[in-house]
Amino acid sequence: MECCKAVQVPSDKIFVCCVCARKYHYECLNLTPSQYATLSMEYMNSWKCPSCSNVTKRNKPNTGTPVRKSHLPVYDDSMNMSCDNLDNPTLSTSRENHSNRKGHDSSMDFEAFSANLYDTLSRWRCEMRKDMSIMKDDIIDTLSSIQNEIGTMRAEYIQLKQDVASLREEVQGIQAQHLVERQEALEVRIEDIVGKCSPDSDSKLSEIFAKIDVLEQQARSCNLEICNVPDKRNESLPTLIEKIGNVLKCPVRGSEVISIHRVPHAERDNPRPKNIIVKFSTRLQRDNLLSAFRKAKKLSTDQIGHVLAVGGDRSSTWKRRDC
């Protein structure tokens, strides 16, 4: 150290000259800790030792040099950083007295600031407590109103549930009553119908069923069933029956055929083709075609384009190629 041989102090509390790089203690430069704390980093980086500062003052006139602002309020002998003042006890005493006054003033300022800060914090605390109390009251009132509304809604829900249960019971009673009334009305109608029926109703019904059977037999007397004719898409059944008549040398005119159609099998899984039902206008035409087929006995696919079997009996079976 260039100022003294005192014990080493932390490196962040040492002044370093920006010209000669010499190091000085801030205490050897007549600075108090509070004054040292007020110095900025810019001032520390541009600080010059007393020797370099005196040389600069001697070599350069300061008439045109502007006064540089400093963090220290007043420059006096107590702030003189020259090492020449270290051997003068009078100046040292004055500097110590001035430092004590500065420290006392700083402590007074700090106490006033602390008191002001405490008052401000106390006022803020009171205001915050008041606001929080108001908010607490508002929240309590809101929760109370919500609880009241929930209680009202719960009571209404219970009432609605009871009303729905009573309505369900009424509907069930009405349905049961309606079913009973309907059953009674049906029983009355059945009794009326039974009472109106004559003793010979059963015999009349039997006669009606017999007449229906006879009519069905007469209606089927002109029908002819053709079996084992493979299904073809977009086939023309009237043309097919005409080809069969020509092959059997028993021509069939379109006016003699009332209807012709295929009928499905009773079993859906039956692999055989659907049979063809032809209804002729007269029974004689049906019998003539059936007799001609029995005389021919055989039909080829080259003649009519199908492998077929013709017969009035459903149990008749024919080979796939020859018939």
123-182 pLDDT tens trace: 999 999 999 999 999 999 999 999 999 999 999 999 999 999 999 999 999 999 999 999
Helix (H) or strand (E) holding 266: none
| Angle CA 152–155–160, to nearest 5 | 125
Task: Report the SS3 class of residue 106.
Answer: helix
Span 15-20, average pLDDT:
86
Q: What is the pLDDT of residue 204?
A: 80
Q: How far is CA 287 from CA 260, 296, 315, in A?
A: 16, 14, 18
211-268 pLDDT tens trace: 888 888 877 888 888 887 778 888 888 888 888 888 888 888 888 888 888 988 888 8
Q: Among 1.10.760, 3.30.40, 3.30.1300, 1.10.4160, what is the CATH number of 11-59+69-87? A: 3.30.40
Q: What is the DSSP letter of 69?
A: P
Given a contact cutoff of 8 angstroms between Cβ atoms, the answer to whether 274 and 262 are in contact is yes
Helical H segments across the chain, by residue range:
33-38, 41-45, 50-59, 89-196, 201-220, 237-247, 283-296, 301-304
Q: What is the pLDDT of residue 66?
A: 47
- What contacts 286, CB < 8 A, 6 or more positions away? 221, 222, 223, 224, 278, 280
Q: Give the pTM.
A: 0.34
Task: Report the SS3 class of residue 227.
Answer: strand
Residue 207 has pLDDT above 50, yes or no: yes
Could you tell me which CATH class the domain 219-311 is placed in? alpha beta
